[in-house]
Amino acid sequence: MTATLRRRRFILATSAFAALTLILSGCSSSDDSASGANCDAYEAYQGNDGSEIEIYSSIRSPEAEIYQESFAEFEECTGITINWNGTAEFEAQLPVRVEGGTAPDLAVFPQPGLLKAMVATGKMVPASDDVSAAADEYYGADWKAYGTVDGTFYAAPLGANVKSFVWYSPKTFADNGWTIPTTWSELLALSDQIASEGKVQPWCVGFGSGDATGWVGTDWMEDLMLRVNDAATYDAWVNHTMPFNDAKVAAVLKEAGKILKNPKYVGNVSAIATTTFQEGGAGLVDGSCAMHRQASFIGGILSADYGATIVTPEDTDVEGGITTFYFPGVTADQRPALGGGEFVGAFNDSGAAQAVQLYLTSPEWNNKKAALGGWFSANKGLDVANVADPVNKNAVEILKSATTFRFDGSDAMPAAVGAGSFWKEMTAWVAENKSDKAVLDAIEKSWPKS
């Protein structure tokens, strides 16, 4: 029985219990707001009783149920029903529904690029002044900027994740006397050391992800771009003011190749392309490899599907325990962070839609959601104490303390590149041993003109 399953069970049990008390109290007392929830905090969202709001998203079970749970009190106090509608086909379906005239009330955008495309349809509604003010108050300017298209603010940030992590097993590290590297060269030296000891493979990597295969490779590129080069170069690269096959990009790919294309580190290089990203991390749990670079969210998958336990770096005696260290910069004091997140935009300017959008930016909701587990955001009002998972706690600290923070670059590039050639070429780079130059030239060529 894994941690997540246990948690799910527990929630099931409590909700059943809550239902029971609801029925009982509902039968004994008459009107008197059966749940006894204090609705004072929801004053700002009142006046939309009986409305129904659909939130369209790519986030589905089991996270969807947790979202739905976090809305319960809001729904009860305001009379607004929130329907969380999650589907794997979100990216393809949203444009169809918007163009077809059945747009959802709110949509959760995982990529700023898609937001831009939807704004271009003219069907999106700019965020209300209240939402805009709340975004100013609770989010950094860079986060607000990702929800802004051509100077108009549309979408407020929702959840966040931090990608600059290397996952490892503290027990394995302690047993072998390995130390946490703090610079890129130390990381390579450690990899050499592990490889020469020959007990385990230094790295596990998996690029596989169905029709999104290759995105793990783009994350590697982005993280290293922030380290080998600087934030300004990163922006030029993402905005294509610098060509994709520039020497600076080539330098980054070369560094990435030192790990990803080294059979001594990763074993069978071409198999990276067919190993799913979930399986990629599994090697940590069964002890077949030592390190795995992946975003904060992989912990949930490894614990639910592969029996891992998420621990702190100090827990060196937990079998199957995994945690993270910061993906080091070229120097120890360089600490840029790469992350991602979602943004909530509206296609409906009704009071209810705006109320929900506003509520999602509030510290109250963010704390409530974080307390339900496995989630955090970049909201300034988020109390770290509400984030239970040690890795996510660490991620929140990184979000707050990073010298430079940049959003997932491929998500901000035009979809033809960021969800197309960049994925495909990174995959071919490992699968077919395509040369650095051929890869970068092909991506540059695919960049949409105009």
Partner 1 sequence: MLEVAARQTQLEQAFSKLTGLVLTVLIFALLVMLAFWLAERASEKIQRYVKYLLFLTPALVFLFIGLIGPALRTLYLSFRDARGDNFVGLENYHWAFTQPEILEVLKNTGIWMVVAPLASTGFGLTIAVLTDRMRRPGLVKSLIFMPMAISFVGAGIIWKFVYQFQPNDRVAEIGLLSQIAEWLGFVPTNWILTSPLNTFLLIIVFVWIQTGFAMVVLSAAIKAIPDEILEASMLDGASGWKRFSKVTVPMIRGTIIVVLSTITIGALKVFDIIRTMTGGNFKTSVIANEMYNQSFRALNYGTGSALAIILFIGVLPLVAYNVVHLRRERAER
Partner 2 sequence: MTNILKRKKVRDIESVKTHLSSPWASFAAILLATIWTIPTFGLFVTSFRPSTGINTSGWWTVLTKPEFTLENYSRVLFEGRGATPPLSQYFLNTFAIVVPSTIIPITIAIFAAYAIAWFDFKGRNFIFFSIFALQVIPLQMSLIPLLQLFSGGLHIGSVTVIPSFGITGTFIPIWLAHTMFGLPLAIFLLHNFIAQLPRELIEAARVDGADYFKLFRQIVLPLSIPAIASFAIFQFLWVWNDLLVALTFGGGKREIAPLMVRLAEMTGTRGGDWELLTAGAFVSILVPVAVFFALQRYFVRGLLAGSVKG
Which residues would be at the binding site for partner 2 (CB under 8 A)?
Answer: 2, 8, 11-12, 15, 54, 56, 58-65, 68-69, 72, 81, 83-89, 93, 96-97, 99-102, 104, 209-210, 276, 278-279, 282, 286, 297, 301, 304-307
Smallest gap from Cβ 417 to partner 1, in A, equals 9
Q: How far is it, in rounded angstroms, from Cα 102 to Cα 375?
A: 30
Indicate the residue among 65 and 246 with the shorter CB distance to partner 2.
65
Strand 321-326 relative to strand 165-168, pairing? antiparallel
Residue type at position 113: G
DSSP 268: S
Single out the residue of 120, 145, 232, 384 in contact with partner 1 (rule: CB under 8 A): 120
Q: Does 268 bind partner 1 (CB under 8 A)?
A: yes
Is 48 within 8 Å of 80 (Cβ atoms)? yes
Q: How far is it, in rounded angstroms, from Cα 113 to Cα 146?
A: 9
Indicate the residue among 237 and 306 with the shorter CB distance to partner 2.
306
Is 57 within 8 Å of 83 (Cβ atoms)? no
- What x-and-dash track marks residues 22-61 binding partner 1 by CB under 8 A? xx--xx------x---------------------------
Indicate the residue among 365 and 423 with the shorter CB distance to partner 1.
423
Q: How far is it, in rounded angstroms, from Cα 421 to Cα 221?
A: 14
65 binds, among partner 1, partner 2, none (CB under 5 to 8 A by kind): partner 2
Q: How far is it, in rounded angstroms, from Cα 275 to Cα 78?
A: 47
Task: List the one residue out of 354, 450, 337 whose CA is nearest residue 404.
Answer: 337
301 binds, among partner 1, partner 2, none (CB under 5 to 8 A by kind): partner 2
CA geometry: angle 325, 328, 330, nearest 5 deg: 170
Residues 63-92 that bind partner 1 (CB under 8 A): 91-92
Residues 370-409 that bind partner 1 (CB under 8 A): none
Indicate the residue among 268 and 331 with the shorter CB distance to partner 1.
268
Residues 197-226 that bind partner 1 (CB under 8 A): 201, 209-214
Q: How far is it, in rounded angstroms, from Cα 281 to Cα 283?
A: 5
CA geometry: angle 408, 287, 167, nearest 5 deg: 25
Q: Write out the DSSP string of 203-219.
A: E----B-GGGTTHHHHH
Indicate the residue among 218 and 229 with the shorter CB distance to partner 2.
218
Single out the residue of 83, 185, 270, 403 in contact with partner 1 (rule: CB under 8 A): 270
Q: How far is it, in rounded angstroms, from Cα 368 to Cα 17?
A: 20
Residue 402: count of CB within 10 angstroms of its CB: 18
Alpha-carbon torsion angle 86, 87, 91, 95, nearest 10: -80
63 binds, among partner 1, partner 2, none (CB under 5 to 8 A by kind): partner 2
Residue type at position 97: R
83 binds, among partner 1, partner 2, none (CB under 5 to 8 A by kind): partner 2
Single out the residue of 19, 133, 330, 332 in contact with partner 1 (rule: CB under 8 A): 19
CA neighbours within 13 Å on the CB side: how many for 427? 20
Single out the residue of 44, 136, 145, 448 in contact with partner 1 (rule: CB under 8 A): 448
Smallest gap from Cβ 80 to partner 2, in A, equals 13
Which residues sit at the interface with partner 1, rule CB under 8 A?
19, 22-23, 26-27, 34, 91-92, 95-96, 117, 120, 201, 209-214, 267-268, 270-271, 273-275, 283, 286, 288-289, 414-416, 419-420, 423-424, 427-428, 431-432, 442, 445, 448
